[in-house]
């Protein structure tokens, strides 16, 4: 008979739980993505119009004989510039507004800690055309942090950033995984940190400093550790034999 494995599952205090272990980001995350797209559209339009007005002032000042009036230049070209700015921006905005809801529906997260033979891990899935599934074992995680930017705070959500030993480094620009659009992001961060401390110390949350504790029995996490311990045992046996021979 197989060994029964006790599984502890985080159950976030929100309605967006699809099944036992899987939960999805908050609906506010979808609203944030749509708002950011509309904000980028408005920002590009505003920068273009202001740049056009500034260019008209410079053109009239540089060549007053050919362009005697800045106002006349603006009135003549403001409608075509405004129209083409809108059209060019709609080329990326319309596909973005279609793709964002599909991308949002594809996102799934899972944070579970299990006792027994099953490896504790963080799972994520996302993607429309290319679907990416990630399994991050707790033993590979080196740092946990939570962030909430201006748009996140506007929609009352945040993200949990996860860094691993194999991914973090000078060549990497950011964390290996990010659990985005979560209302309970601080609770998720604290849950992961708590389970990590049980699994191995030290782990930090970005600003917190945790000092490592000495372990009375060394952990054999690699072949090198096991070889080192075996060599030490052989050394001790040889020392005992020498003492016995001297006696």
Quick check: 175 pLDDT over 70? yes
Q: What confidence score (pLDDT) does residue 70 get?
A: 79
- The phi, psi pair for 79, rounded to 5°, reads -70, -50
Q: What confidence score (pLDDT) does residue 95 get?
A: 94
Q: What confidence score (pLDDT) does residue 136 get?
A: 85
SS3 content of the chain, % helix, strand, coil (to 5): 50, 20, 30
Q: What is the distance between the alpha carbons of residues 28 and 163, in angstroms, rounded to a whole number?
A: 25
* Spatial contact of 185 and 145, defined as CB atoms under 8 Å apart: no
CB atoms within 10 A of CB 199: 15
* Spatial contact of 161 and 146, defined as CB atoms under 8 Å apart: yes
Pairing of strands 141-147, 158-164: antiparallel
Q: What confidence score (pLDDT) does residue 123 get?
A: 85
225 pLDDT band, cuts 50/70/90, is low
* Spatial contact of 114 and 4, defined as CB atoms under 8 Å apart: no
pLDDT in tens, 59-117: 877 777 777 777 888 888 889 999 999 999 999 999 999 999 999 999 998 877 655 44
First vs last C-alpha separation in the chain: 53
Q: 27-62 and 70-106 are packed helices; what angle lies between their axes, rounded to 10 degrees?
A: 160
Q: What confidence score (pLDDT) does residue 15 get?
A: 39
237 pLDDT band, cuts 50/70/90, is confident
Q: Which of 191, 219, 224 is nearest to 205 (CA)?
A: 191
Q: What is the distance between the alpha carbons of residues 210 and 213, in angstroms, rounded to a whole number?
A: 9
Count how many residues are written for the chain. 247
Q: What is the pTM of this model?
A: 0.68
Side-chain half-sphere CA neighbours of 170 within 13 A: 0
pLDDT in tens, 105-147: 999 988 776 554 455 788 899 999 999 988 888 878 888 889 9
Q: Which of 198, 189, 201, 192 is nearest to 112 (CA)?
A: 192
Q: What is the distance between the alpha carbons of residues 242 and 167, in angstroms, rounded to a whole number?
A: 48
* Spatial contact of 181 and 32, defined as CB atoms under 8 Å apart: yes
Q: What confidence score (pLDDT) does residue 8 get?
A: 56
How far CA 86 is from CA of 32, 37, 39, in Å, comes to 22, 14, 14
Question: 3-17, 143-157, 166-180, 190-204: which has the highest mean pLDDT?
Answer: 143-157
Q: What confidence score (pLDDT) does residue 62 get?
A: 77
CB atoms within 10 A of CB 159: 22
């Amino acid at each position: 008979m197989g060994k029964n494995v006790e599984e502890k599952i985080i159950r976030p205090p929100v309605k967006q739980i699809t099944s036992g272990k899987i939960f999805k980001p908050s609906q506010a995350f979808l609203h944030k993505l749509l708002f950011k797209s509309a904000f980028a559209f408005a920002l590009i339009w505003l920068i273009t119009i202001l740049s056009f007005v500034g260019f008209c002032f410079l053109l009239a000042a540089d060549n007053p004989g050919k362009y005697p009036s800045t106002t006349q230049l603006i009135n003549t070209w403001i409608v075509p510039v405004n129209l083409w700015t809108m059209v060019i921006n709609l080329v990326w905005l319309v596909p973005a507004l279609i793709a964002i809801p599909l991308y949002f529906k594809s996102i799934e997260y899972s944070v579970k800690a299990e006792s027994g033979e099953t490896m504790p891990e963080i799972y994520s899935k996302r993607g429309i055309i290319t679907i990416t599934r990630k399994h991050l074992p707790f033993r590979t995680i080196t740092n946990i942090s939570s962030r909430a930017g201006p748009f996140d705070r506007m929609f009352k959500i945040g993200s949990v950033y996860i860094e691993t030993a194999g991914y973090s480094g000078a060549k990497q620009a950011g964390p290996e995984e990010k659990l985005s659009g979560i209302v309970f992001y601080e609770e998720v961060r604290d849950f992961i940190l708590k389970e990590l401390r049980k699994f191995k110390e030290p782990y930090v949350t970005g600003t917190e400093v945790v000092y490592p504790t000495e372990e009375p029995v060394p952990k054999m996490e690699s072949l090198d550790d096991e070889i080192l311990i075996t060599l030490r045992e052989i050394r001790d046996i040889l020392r005992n034999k020498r003492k016995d021979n001297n006696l």
